[in-house]
Chains A and B, each alone.
Chain A
Amino acid sequence: MTDTQGHHHEGEHAHPQLGFWRKYVFSTDHKVIGIQYLVTAMAMAVIGGTLSLLMRLQLGWPHGSWPFLASLMPRAFDSQGHMNADFYLSLVTMHGTIMVFFLFTAVLTGGFGNFLIPLQIGARDMAFPFLNALSYWIFLASCIVIFSALLVQGGAPLGGWTAYAPLSALPAAGPGQGTGMTLWITAIALFTASGLMGGLNYITTILTMRTKGLSMMRLPLTQWSLLITAVLGLLAFPVLLAAAILLVFDRVGGTSFFIPGGIVLNNKLIEHTGGHPLLWQHLFWFFGHPEVYIVILPAMGIASDILSTFCRKPIFSYKMMVYAMVAISGLSFIVWGHHMFVSGMSPFLGSVFTITTLLIAVPSAVKTFNWLGTVWGARIQFTSAALFSIGFVSMFISGGLSGPFLGTSAADIQLQDTYFVVAHFHLVMAIAPLFAAYAGLYYWFPKMFGRFMNETAGKIHFWMSFVGAYCVFFPMHIIGIGGQMRRIYDPLNYQFLVNQQIVNVFISISAFVLASAQILFLVNFFVSIWAGKRATENNPWKATTLEWEVPCPTGHGNFGPELPVVHRWAFDYSIPGATEDFVPQTAPAVPAQQERH
């Protein structure tokens, strides 16, 4: 029986025909939910990216006048068309918040997690499909709330995505710290709820619904990374929620969790007393550090699998890759103080955190060696997905290697809160995961939509993004060394920064080039959904994992009447003696090819 596209869809069991709304909008099918997350995250990326372009406009030309923009956003600019300082800081805050939570956490765990987990483990859907759908709608609500913070009368909050108290706890301490800040906290709380519902599904599904023969050590690295990430989220996000609850009560309930005595606002001593600002930082970073691994781990998993596929070579040292991810996630809970070296925290604690932080560099290095070991002796097919997965490795190396400077507390004294930190986290937490996400999108697009994205446009997208990203973020190390502080509306206010302003100009121009490449991607993505080259086979990339056994696009219920049975790990590429350069996971074990998997 075929559908209107002439495709034979196996395994679609009898359901009463669902209407448009139940099928495409309020669906509980994990694939629809995954795509909903992806598309919503893309929309948030456009917003977050636009905010960053406005930031770069200001940083490149701090005394510039922008009458056109001023006409669009009159409250953000003064009468001469100069951007207002508080607007600049709200850009900084919202850009960070939107990108970290609503783009990266959402796209990698919500988007790829939802789409891939049941497919790659041989299940028909997640363990709790209704809860899964609910998690998306709450995520969408959180997006709407955070977006609304940009529109309110008092403006968006301006305390940075890190929202340090007491600035964030005192509505009187600055514009945007009123309603805007409250909306920010609400959005984060909703996002946390959504994330926990999702995490519940990911963990339960991966642990209890793997198909026959799929032992844990036969899982693709994508699955390992999603499982570990979900556990991290489970342990970290509730602490953020706890901090947010206490913050809300400080703001509106008159409590003093984070507000010490002795604060003078408008020349008057305020009534709070007893709280401790550093408590916010400890709680926030206890969450915040695992959060960065929540972003990078799925990226590592996805990039590893895609790299292996297009290298036609097993990932080097799969076991160590798994152990390294476990080690990274365990260690991620004991390094948070490296964000607080100069915060007034005890210097002894500072020493402890330096040791644990440099420890966490070891498993990260192991993973890098293994990626190199995968490419060595490979036979690389340079598709767009392959290029982005290789680009991921380069970006991770660059971003990762600036870590030791910051983890060494003595050097961090000079570098803390400068653009050196901005360079580090953008390369390792924004660009590297972005490249992995792009690799995933080009790669799994046919599985999602039954068509391919345009490869030529994809390659242009890659080259522009690779060069563009380095041009934007690499020079930031240099201006950070030169002393440029973070979150500064006008670097020219400081004599010691004047000489390197030219670098800011270079970065800003590069940022616009980088952004235009992403527009190319978005056009490619959406046009290809309806007009891309059709995928005529199940497994166009000749990959080994379970999702490639089923049609492109995959129907409801995923697999045929029988669930697949797995006989081998996910990396049987280029086995000597095999006819093809890959053997799917479902192919029965053959004595001649017997591996200990």
Chain B
Amino acid sequence: MADEKGPGRITSSGLALGALLGILIIVSIWLFAAKPWWFPGLTSIHGAEIDRVFNAVLIVTGIAFIITQGMLGYFVARYGSAGSEHADYWHDNPKAEFFLLTGTAVILVVLVFMGQKVWLNYYFTALPKDAVTVQVTAQQFMWNFHYPGADGKFGKTDLTLVDPTNLIGLDDKDPNSKDDIVTANDMHIPMNKPVVVRLRSKDVIHSFFLPNFRVKQDAVPGLAIEVGFTPTTAGAYEIACAELCGAQHYKMKANITVDASDADFNTWLQARLKERTGD
């Protein structure tokens, strides 16, 4: 029996699948446009650039998503079959392929350039000498913050000196460490001033994640890694560990406060110093 080429039929399966894909498109537009849940509140300068890169990728991929899922949904709804009818017989279109391929490549190259500007800026902008410097030492399962104090010099640390009261092994015999401040899970920085964090780890790999600041950097034992940022909004925020580091990984939270003024920041530093030298 010769099967002829029949018109594509709308079938219940095709229609249902097409409808579901339509719903998928609508729900995804809602989620990404109405943003019922979205990025944590932004509070850093470079963070705005990162958010811009994200949005650029979102627009490109969003359009691609709507077009491709939409086409898929339309085709399955439109081109069902009732028996074994012949389909349209074409299976090559070199021009269209070439166009789509180069178009995709061009768009991706543009995205690469946009993203790389931000990336290279983030890592290779020389941070000003007067930036607030904090040595952050991660360990299972807490964050240690080490400030240099008024003399601006960090006291030496020696891991053989580590004990439960001296978690970073600060060498008291080093004169520079007299005015150093060491806190546990409590970090303060002044608003609108660049900050440099020098990340270390005492045991396994952790990751220093500041969601509001768009900062994330692994803390690797054996390495000291610097990362810089400038906070723009005062307030209390959270630090999370973003690299699985053991059973209590989920508990590795710390608080980071952006003080509204240098004075507030210094007050806090003085209070911590007093605690350390007072007891």
Contact = CB atoms under 8 A, between A and B. Distances in A.
| Any A–B CB pair closer than 8 Å | yes
Interface stretch (A2-10, A21-29, A67-75, A359-367): A359-367
Contacts of A483: 39-40, 209, 211, 240
B84 interface: yes
Interface in B34-51: 36-40, 49-50
Contacts of A536: none
A489 B6 CA distance: 56
A299 to B, nearest CB: 17
A378 B75 contact: yes
B79 A485 contact: no
A240 B227 CA distance: 31
A354 B109 CA distance: 10
A523 interface: no
Given A262-B222, A361-B104, A387-B13, A85 B247 contact: yes
Given A372-B72, A411-B50, A164 B97 contact: no
Given A313-B91, A408-B115, A496-B238, A466 B54 contact: no
A318 B97 CA distance: 12
B242 A416 contact: yes
Contact of B246 (A173, A479, A499): A173
27 contacts: A89-B247, A160-B244, A170-B204, A277-B221, A312-B81, A344-B217, A358-B109, A361-B108, A368-B68, A376-B88, A378-B79, A379-B9, A379-B87, A380-B14, A380-B81, A394-B69, A404-B111, A408-B53, A408-B112, A410-B116, A413-B216, A417-B207, A474-B27, A478-B31, A483-B240, A487-B244, A580-B84
A278 interface: yes
Contact of B220 (A277, A359, A365): A277
- For B2, B124, B244, the residue with the greatest tally of chain A CB atoms inside 10 Å of its CB is B244
B200 to A, nearest CB: 8
A479 B91 contact: no
A167 B38 contact: no
A318 B65 contact: no
Contacts of B124: 347
Contacts of A408: 53, 57, 111-112, 115
A324 to B, nearest CB: 9
Contacts of A576: 86, 89
Given A277-B222, A390-B17, A404-B61, A312 B112 contact: no
Contacts of A496: 40, 211-212, 237-238
Contact of B216 (A277, A390, A416, A493): A416
Nearest to B17: A390
B20 A467 contact: yes
Interface of B: 1-3, 5-6, 8-9, 11, 13-14, 16-17, 20-21, 24, 27-28, 31, 36-40, 49-50, 53-54, 57-58, 60-61, 64-65, 68-69, 71-72, 75-76, 79-81, 84-93, 96-97, 100-101, 104-105, 108-109, 111-112, 115-116, 118-120, 122-124, 139-140, 159-160, 162-164, 169, 202-205, 207, 209, 211-212, 214-218, 220-223, 225, 237-238, 240-251, 253
A405 B36 CA distance: 20
Interface stretch (A219-227, A263-271, A428-436): A263-271
A347 B57 CA distance: 21
A362 B39 contact: no
Contact of A574 (B75, B88, B247): B88
Nearest to A379: B81
A495 B202 CA distance: 27
Given A417-B209, A574-B5, A372 B216 contact: no
A320 B17 CA distance: 27
A46 interface: no
A269 B37 contact: no
Contacts of A368: 68
Contact of A375 (B79, B90, B97, B245): B79
Contacts of B57: 404-405, 408, 411
Contact of B238 (A262, A315, A495): A495
A463 B65 CA distance: 21
Contacts of A316: 91-93
Nearest to A375: B75
B250 A490 contact: yes
A414 B249 CA distance: 19
Contacts of A351: 116, 119-120
